[in-house]
Structure 1
Amino acid sequence: MNMSHQQGQELSGAGFRLNDPVFVTEELRMLREQVRRFVEREVAPNGESWEAEGKIPREMFRKLGDMGLLGMQHEEEYGGTKMGALASVVFGEELSRSTFGGFTASVTVHTDMSASHITRVGTPEQKAKFLPDLIAGRKVCAIGVTEAGAGSDVAGIRTKAVRDGDHWVINGTKMFITNAVYGDLLILGARTEGLEAGARGISLFIVPTDTPGYKVARKLDKHGWLCSDTAELVFEDMRVPAENMLGAENRGFYAIMQGFEHERLMIGAFCAGEGARAIELTLDYVRARQAFGKSLWAQQATRQRLADLASKAAMIRALTYQTAAALDAGQAVSRETAMIKSVGPEILHEVVHGCLQLHGGTGYMRGTPIERMARDARILRIGGGATEVMLEEVAKRM
């Protein structure tokens, strides 16, 4: 394929088409089309029933695994494809276009926010034991860091792990944990030194969810992301084998921070996909909706509002792709990922609520994609680091 055709490739529909950056390869474009077909075939027709059930069928993970879509962060020897950050962004963007944020969250927590810790800091034995099932979709993974009193402040976690022979005994709680009810493995952050050690006293553990002492205290009823399962967890004298410590003792905080960098990049992908889809849906609506003798699209105020929202959505998409390319090139991107997390969800919030406004009363009705997207978008300004905290992260790096 020649370069001029690559630059002209248009991948979005319904009147809001954005070119891929020139550094996006043919392989990544093929990945995009593969994920888009999966979303159209499997997610779009079934997402409403998953929302009602508060659960995603396990077979969806197996189907994604069969397609090779759960292993893009993992090495080939364990069944992965190790395609890098740009592939993850393409994957997250296309999943987000489904309009079911809970599905996107559940899948990407598994692929990019939890199991990826095993690849980054796990031993060869841990990788061989756990990764093949996770990459194939036979098992589902979660990440357990947040607590009721320690959200954006990760160094403040209190869940305690005490060494007892060849086990660690863990007591404590976790809150707002995605995939914790129906998942199989939890990457758990626990304190292995006293609170006075702060960030230097936290370690990671791989915990099967059928471990005695692992308890789902309650499945949480959320404002959005209804099809993803989210739980409060309690650990009561939960004994975890010492060989399940993930990475070096007391170095878990730094592994978590490295994982957050990728998580923030993925949130940029969410914002890109959901923002573009919201604009597409709204363009369709305002072109068809008649008011005062002409379509809403014929009203200058409508056109200019959508043009403004589309421009902002395009900017966060460009920053996300550029940052992913830099990360794949080995560059430091902690400042840029903090920028993505601080600005992207704010832009998405403006986009989806602006689009809902243009839908009028229809946009306020349950069962319409734009109403669901407006609810789902709200958590992105909180989860993974609140906007206010992320702005401080950017300021530190100025």
Structure 2
Amino acid sequence: MQKLFAVRSLTSSLFKKHSRHAAAAAFSTSLLFDDTQKQEVNLWKLMGDFNLHGITAQEANEGGEEYGGLGLGYLYHCIAMEEISRASGSVGLSYGAHSNLCINQLVRNGTAAQKQKYLPKLISGEHVGALAMSEPNAGSDVVSMKCKADRVDGGYVLNGNKMCTNGPVAQTLVVYAKTDMTARSKGITAFIIEKDMPGFSTAQKLDKLGMRGSDTCELVFENCFVPEENVLGEEGKGVYVMMSGLDLERLVLAAGPLGIMQACLDVVLPYIKQREQFGKPIGEFQFIQGKIADMYTSLQSSRSYVYSAARDCDSGNVNPKDCAGVILCAAERATQVALQAIQCLGGNGYVNEYPTGRLLRDAKLYEIGAGTSEIRRMIIGRELFKEQ
């Protein structure tokens, strides 16, 4: 445990300051995002200025062509995700979709030409990235997707629909489609889609319960031509691209609930010191002390699990059951911590003038997105059974 917190202290001094500068900008407009469902475009550029988008990307390729990445690992990525989510769950979610689901997929699976074309603008924040896997009728059963890609001269023609975080604002998207409708998982191919490709459009933004400042919409493909060089990986090998990235996506996104839990404590601790009942601060009452103790231990145990799994991934040991476990644990605890935060504030916690309601609504998303809690339990159970 001491070693884990020593790592946190070291990374804080080297890196965390930049995350907090970007987080401060996100925090200053977090309520506006929740009300208007709009993000400030300059936030992406600001995070790019602090080198937060390309944490796991190389600085340059072997030929010296610069990408702008930091070449660091997933522990650093988790710390950035946590700090940004502490300020705004919405910005944290969009940041995770951009920096991990899109950029990291290109880093891990892209050709040299694809990396040179797309990474510099994505890493600088000039362009926003996204990943589209789910469909209106294909969520957990992603292999049943209906979006198809027909082979034509020079490329493919895509038809179908997808659901996508960052969809309304993304210029570069990783999209999965079926190149063989009869081959189940072996018929899926990953594509790099550009916003201005003819036949590609976005429907109106979804009006969501939480994460309201993170733009989500349906993507529409109507005879959208995608050149052959925009295949990510190989034709029919999209499920490998997908599955090889899912563990790392779950890991990094698990840091989002950490930030939300910390934000709950940031609200509650000053409040219980200032709020008085029966002639003394409510923080002196044992019931309140018990609640904040539960909140604190939920955060610290989840944080330890996430950081430990991140260090394992950085050393090359990517364990599916732990990548599913960290987000299962952190997500469910974040929802409970947010409920406790509301309870500590009493009636004020139920008033939108305070951020606790937003924190609860934002936290709930992590029990659904990136694989539901039920899917995560299935993964963990399956992996444990296979080990016997």
Structure 2 length-normalised TM? 0.94
Alignment of 1:79-158 (within 5 A): 79-98=68-87, 100-158=88-146
Alignment of 1:271-290 (within 5 A): 271-290=257-276
1:37 deviation in Å?
Answer: 2.6
SS in 2 for 1:273: helix
Structure 2 unaligned runs (5+)? 61-66
Q: Which residue of 2 aligns with 1:71?
A: 54
1:341 deviation in Å?
Answer: 2.1
Match of 2:172 among 185, 188, 199: 185
| Matched positions, count | 377
Q: Give, in whole Å, the separation in 1 of the partners of 2:318 and 2:30.
A: 37
Q: Which residue of 1 aligns with 2:183?
A: 197
Q: CA contact under 8 A between 2:186 and 2:239: conserved in structure 1? A: yes
Q: Give, in whole Å, the separation in 2 of the partners of 1:244 and 1:28.
A: 38
Match of 2:13 among 29, 42, 45: 29
Match of 1:165 among 136, 153, 174: 153
Letter in 1 for 2:70: T
Q: Give, in whole Å, the separation in 2 of the partners of 1:210 and 1:56.
A: 21
Q: Give, in whole Å, the separation in 2 of the partners of 1:89 and 1:218.
A: 31
**CA distance 1:314–1:71, shift in 2 (3 Å):** same
Q: Which residue of 1 aligns with 2:364?
A: 378
Q: Which residue of 2 aligns with 1:298?
A: 284
1:71 deviation in Å?
Answer: 1.0
Alignment of 1:312-327 (within 5 A): 312-327=298-313
Q: Which residue of 2 aligns with 1:12?
A: none
Match of 2:236 among 224, 229, 250: 250
**CA distance 1:288–1:21, shift in 2 (3 Å):** same
**CA distance 1:208–1:367, shift in 2 (3 Å):** farther
SS in 2 for 1:96: helix
1:342 deviation in Å?
Answer: 1.9
1:211 deviation in Å?
Answer: 1.0
Q: Which moved more, 1:244-253 or 1:257-266?
A: 257-266
How much is the aligned-residue C-alpha RMSD, in angstroms?
Answer: 1.5
**CA distance 1:29–1:155, shift in 2 (3 Å):** farther
Alignment of 1:222-371 (within 5 A): 222-371=208-357
**CA distance 1:154–1:237, shift in 2 (3 Å):** same
Q: Give, in whole Å, the separation in 2 of the partners of 1:329 and 1:323.
A: 10
1:227 deviation in Å?
Answer: 1.2
1:372 deviation in Å?
Answer: 0.9
1:38 deviation in Å?
Answer: 2.7
Q: Give, in whole Å, the separation in 1 of the partners of 2:102 and 2:348.
A: 38
1:156 deviation in Å?
Answer: 1.6
Q: CA contact under 8 A between 1:185 and 1:209: conserved in structure 2? A: yes
- What does the per-residue CA deviation read over 1:141-185, in whole Å, with 9 as the maximum and x for residues that have no partner? 11111111111222121100011010200001112x111111111
Q: Which residue of 2 aligns with 1:52?
A: 35
- What does the per-residue CA deviation read over 1:50-78, in whole Å, with 9 as the maximum and x for residues that have no partner? 33332222211111112211111211111
Q: CA contact under 8 A between 2:81 and 2:95: conserved in structure 1? A: no
Q: CA contact under 8 A between 2:20 and 2:83: conserved in structure 1? A: yes
1:252 deviation in Å?
Answer: 1.0
1:27 deviation in Å?
Answer: 4.8
Q: CA contact under 8 A between 1:66 and 1:136: conserved in structure 2? A: yes
Q: Give, in whole Å, the separation in 2 of the partners of 1:394 and 1:210.
A: 40
